[in-house]
């Protein structure tokens, strides 16, 4: 789209994901900062991508940007920290195209120095000072984000309850982080719980109808925050619960940590316990997600005196 002399833009940031299993070794080099991983670890992660076909994260991020552009009528760029299009390349492109001010939103609603903090560092160290930026630190409790999750949850619960013969609890999940990160004052765990609370409230769930667990723990030394998904599933099984509906409130779009970690690994674990596992559809290109992003941008621009 031709934006003429428009110098205000939006930049959406995401973790990044390889488009095929063959690209996984190169991708992992970016994730680790060039540090080599044991061959068996690389092969295991590559197998996960083979099992899910390919990660649709880039596709959904592009679609989110397209829908947001339509709502705002200003340019919306996307950049990835660990894959193409890389943050430095996109920042240079924005400078070449005359961008003077950008609202930057991480597609990770809960703030952590292990995610949002690293995105911000990547922006500021790779040309982010070439134009003014308004960096959104967190939007975990935005009402329209909550509405987007609640809508998907209602659809998932309706489908699960049609198949089940008794009450189906909800298990909200978010990516785990090292315990030392939280102990140092990181707000991530508290914000993930707040998102879960707000979605549960919007979906009119009783307090004993839902839990929050953390998934996709890393292999670095030291403990990671919990409870783990596997621990909660085990507890539900011991209580005689027939099944559970999972909603990944820490992720906005399908990618390997949803399509493999939940749809394959967690479901297989649940089946061994005699549990059925359903998953609410990811937000992906939800109109309410687009509305949330648009509202954030409009509010930030209004506060800076740049109406659109």
pLDDT digits (tens, 9 = 90+) for 217-227: 987 778 999 99
Structure confidence at residue 128 (pLDDT) = 62
Structure confidence at residue 53 (pLDDT) = 86
Task: Say whether pLDDT at 198 is over 80.
Answer: yes
pTM of the model: 0.95
Structure confidence at residue 2 (pLDDT) = 47
For residues 50-79, average pLDDT: 95
Whole-number mean pLDDT of the chain?
94
Question: CA–CA separation, 257 vs 263, rounded Å?
Answer: 9
Residue 213 phi, psi dihedral angles, 5° rounding: -135, 165
Using a pLDDT cut of 90, give the percent of the chain over it: 86
Show the tokens assigned to 303. 């506060």
For residues 204-225, average pLDDT: 92
- The CATH class given to the 8-139+286-303 domain equals alpha beta
DSSP the chain: ---TT--EEEEEEE----SSGGGHHHHHHHHTTTPPPPHHHHHHHHHHHHHHSS--HHHHHHHHHHHHHHHH-S-EEEEESSSSSBHHHHHHHHHHTT--EEEEEES--S--TTTHHHHHHHHHTTTGGGSEEEEE---TT-HHHHHHHHHHHHHHHHHHHHH-SS---EEEEEE--BHHHHHTT--HHHHHHHHHHHHHHHTT--GGGEEEEEE----SSS-B-S-BHHHHHHHHHHTT--EEEEEETT-SS--HHHHTIIIIIIHHHHHHTT-EEEEPPP-TT-HHHHHHHHHHHHHHHHHTT---
Q: Which of 46-60, 114-128, 167-181, 252-266 has the lowest mean pLDDT?
A: 114-128
Locate CATH 3.40.50.1400 in the chain.
8-139+286-303, 143-279
CATH of 143-279, one of 3.40.50.300, 3.30.420.40, 3.40.50.1400, 3.30.470.20: 3.40.50.1400
Task: Say whether pLDDT at 3 is over 70.
Answer: no
Task: Say whether pLDDT at 212 is over 50.
Answer: yes
Task: Say whether pLDDT at 1 is over 80.
Answer: no
For residues 226-232, average pLDDT: 98
Structure confidence at residue 202 (pLDDT) = 98
Give me the sheet containing 276-279, strands edge to edge: 210-215, 170-175, 243-248, 276-279
Task: Say whether pLDDT at 285 is over 50.
Answer: yes
């Amino acid at each position: 789209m031709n934006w003429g002399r428009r110098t205000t833009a939006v930049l959406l940031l995401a973790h990044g994901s390889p488009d095929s299993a063959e690209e996984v070794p190169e991708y992992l080099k970016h994730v680790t900062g060039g540090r080599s991983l044991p061959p068996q670890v690389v092969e295991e992660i590559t197998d996960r991508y083979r099992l899910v076909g390919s990660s649709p994260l880039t596709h959904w991020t592009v679609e989110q940007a397209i829908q947001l552009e339509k709502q705002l009528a200003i340019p919306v760029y996307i950049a990835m920290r660990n894959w193409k299009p890389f943050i430095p390349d996109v920042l240079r492109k924005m400078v070449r195209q005359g961008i003077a001010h950008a609202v930057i939103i991480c597609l990770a609603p809960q703030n952590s120095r292990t995610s949002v903090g690293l995105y911000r560092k990547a922006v500021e160290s790779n040309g982010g000072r070439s134009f003014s930026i308004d960096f959104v630190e967190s939007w975990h409790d935005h009402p329209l984000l909550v509405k987007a999750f609640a809508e998907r949850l209602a659809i998932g619960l309706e489908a699960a309850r049609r198949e089940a013969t008794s009450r189906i609890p909800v298990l909200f999940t978010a990516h785990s982080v090292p315990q030392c990160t939280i102990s140092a004052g990181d707000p991530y765990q508290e914000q993930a719980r707040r998102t879960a609370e707000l979605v549960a409230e919007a979906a009119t769930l009783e307090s004993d109808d839902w839990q929050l667990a953390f998934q996709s723990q890393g292999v670095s030394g030291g403990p990671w925050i919990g409870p783990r998904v596997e621990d909660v599933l085990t507890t539900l099984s011991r209580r005689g619960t027939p099944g559970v509906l999972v909603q990944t409130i820490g992720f906005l779009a399908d990618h390997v940590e949803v399509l493999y970690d939940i749809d394959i690994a967690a479901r297989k674990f649940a089946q061994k316990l005699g549990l059925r596992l359903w998953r609410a559809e990811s937000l992906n290109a939800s109109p309410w997600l687009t509305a949330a992003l648009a509202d954030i941008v409009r509010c930030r621009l209004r506060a800076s005196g740049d109406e659109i």
